[in-house]
Structure 1
Amino acid sequence: MTDPLSEVIALLQPRAVFSKGISGAGPWGVRYSDFGQPSFCAVLEGRCRLAVDNLAPLTLEAGDFVLLPATPGFTISGFQPVVPERVDPKRVAAAKGEVRHGTRGGRPDVRLLGGYFVFDSPDAALMVSLLPAMVHVRGVPRLSTLVRLVGDETREERSGRELVLTRLVELLLIEALRSTSGDDTPPGLLRGLADVRLAPAIRQMHRHLTRPWTVAQLAKSAALSRSAFFERFTRTVGQAPMEYLFDWRMAVARGLLRRRELSISEVAERVGYSSASTFTAAFSKHVGQPPGRFSRAS
């Protein structure tokens, strides 16, 4: 069975983890500039305040996990008024041991494990646009366990480190994203998969990518009228059904072309096009270059 969430993460190609321990006590605050790469933070003990640009501030507690798929600017701090220290995450050298903010020495008010990684896929922007700006998960022990394993693996220089970290990050992403659902989730794939009517249609699109889908057929799988399905899908996922399907087909096609294992006609068939010429025209218009040139340049 095809799982859309797993497919998105596989196409994102997450890798290269950097993580560090952070603690704070007394008046403290750190302002991180816009980073762009995906980052995460787990609260190991205590409490702190997180304010992500353009989102409502929230209080983080022990056991909380936060994922920022594109990491805009944000401030993390204690609860006392303070002018935050400004940090450019792109220039921060790898820290040895735990980084302490605020009052030195003594028991900290909060201990965190923060980190970031990269998405290797050139289609990362499309994939990230299907995810919430911030994923906040509370009370999922499996996530805390995964974060600790990431921290342990980051510190150790053991053989197979990069492969283990890649697998851990994939698990971390899946666990975090599937723990986030409901009506308060922003429009995107997660909210669509949480909708009992839309989820079957989304899974059908992913499972049978070669099928010449129509809105009417997808509406039937959702047990909705054509107009009700179109409106609900667009509002919930943030894209019209055929737009989502087209973007997904192009993302899968780019992944196949980069691997250079199939001919253009075979790639066309894999993503639902009856002829190589029709696929080439659609791909060229969407990507800005024909599939053959794209494959050679990848």
Structure 2
Amino acid sequence: MDVVSDAISAVRLGHPSSDRIGISGSWCVRLDPYVGAGFAVVLKGSCRLLPDGGDPVSLGVGDVVLLPHGTGHVLTDSRVDPADAPTRTVPFERWLTETGPRDRGETELLCGKYRLDCSRLHPLMAELPRVVHLPNRVGSHPELRAAIDLLAGELDERRPGACVALPSLLDLLFVYVIRSWIDEATSGAWPRVLSDPVAAAALRALHSDPAAPWTTDRLAAEANVSRPTLARRFTTLVGRPPMAYLTWWRLTLAATLLRDTPDTLATIADRVGYGSPYALSHAFEREFGITPGRYRVKVTERSPAA
């Protein structure tokens, strides 16, 4: 596993939802904030997005917009002034139901929502801006464009196997949007981290085998630098020393396994590099303020069905 894959896997819940919507005439909707990430792809026409507390974003054909933190927002026809948006908010799923799929509207959108567990965000995910806007530019992000074309085709034809293909393509879209943001970002810590050969090599090693008996010396050898160089570069870029990051990630991974698997605490302890269930339980409670058993009950009660 790599950092981006692990960061996404740690928060992803169940399957994403999506629909293709066609709208004609003058329209405007204010959507509730939600726990998760929302996205929209403009397949035809144009519209505007106004995030709560942010500036309007004009969207044209082929544009992709991701709201990684579930920010409430207004979606509107380009001819409508966002200042005239309704004050009443509508849940995303209700809007999809009320609007329903339309055949060949003036504006066609692929809209969807990813269900995420935001209680243990990896700093890479936490650093994503409130709105990630990827304009459609010739030659840019070919993988993302291919995923959009495949998604549109699946929604158009609903061929056999669509129930498997659609969630997989939506997950692929999420990865490609985050990857594209990393490639284009001009600020932020984690794009710098992942482009730094020393920090990136150390993170790849830790995420590939978090249960290994890592030491700073061994990790420095993996990154092909001295121990002081690794400690300085990693701490400066990531914001915590290598071994402190490893401890945090092991416990975050343990929380994910408690949420997503029926594995015993002993099995999870072995998978994340702790010598005994007691050692894991002690470290887990110190980090998160709750025992692993109580955490598992809590997340099971609040998690929606997949």
Could you say which residue in structure 1 is the equivalent of 2:304?
A: none
Q: Which residue of the other structure, out of 68, 84, 98, is the alignment partner of 2:102?
A: 98
Aligned-partner Cα distance in 1 for 2:245–2:230: 19
Aligned-partner Cα distance in 1 for 2:56–2:192: 22
Aligned residues: 280
Unmatched 5+ stretches in structure 1: 101-106
TM-score, normalised to structure 1, is 0.75
Aligned-partner Cα distance in 1 for 2:168–2:206: 26
Where do 4+ consecutive residues of structure 1 move more than 6 Å?
155-159
Q: 1:30, 1:85 within 8 Å by CA — same for their partners in 2?
A: yes
Question: Is 1:135–2:132 an aligned residue pair?
Answer: yes
Q: 1:67, CA displacement in angstroms?
A: 1.5
Unmatched 5+ stretches in structure 2: 301-306
**Mapping for residues 226-245 of structure 1, pairs under 5 Å:** 226-234=231-239, 241-245=242-246
Q: 1:148, CA displacement in angstroms?
A: 4.8
**Shift in alpha-carbon separation, 1:148–1:79, aligned structure 2, 3 A:** same
**Mapping for residues 88-237 of structure 1, pairs under 5 Å:** 88-90=90-92, 91-92=94-95, 94=97, 95-98=99-102, 108=106, 110-119=107-116, 123-127=117-121, 130-131=124-125, 132-133=128-129, 134-138=131-135, 139=137, 140-150=141-151, 153=154, 160-182=161-183, 183-188=185-190, 191-213=192-214, 218=219, 221=223, 223=225, 224=229, 226-234=231-239
Q: 1:33, 1:89 within 8 Å by CA — same for their partners in 2?
A: yes
Aligned-partner Cα distance in 2 for 1:9–1:287: 20
Aligned-partner Cα distance in 2 for 1:75–1:233: 35
Aligned-partner Cα distance in 2 for 1:175–1:240: 29
Q: 1:17, 1:165 within 8 Å by CA — same for their partners in 2?
A: no
Q: 1:206, CA displacement in angstroms?
A: 0.3
**Mapping for residues 23-62 of structure 1, pairs under 5 Å:** 23=23, 29-62=28-61
Question: Is 1:17–2:17 an aligned residue pair?
Answer: yes
What do the CA deviations read for 1:122-170 (whole angstroms, capped 9, x no partner)? x443236532133322343543443454455557777654433321222
Q: 1:48, 1:61 within 8 Å by CA — same for their partners in 2?
A: yes
Q: Counterpart amino acid of 2:100?
A: K
Aligned-partner Cα distance in 1 for 2:80–2:123: 35
Q: 1:14, 1:166 within 8 Å by CA — same for their partners in 2?
A: no
**Mapping for residues 264-279 of structure 1, pairs under 5 Å:** 264-279=265-280
**Shift in alpha-carbon separation, 1:175–1:32, aligned structure 2, 3 A:** same
TM-score, normalised to structure 2, is 0.73
Q: 1:185, CA displacement in angstroms?
A: 4.8
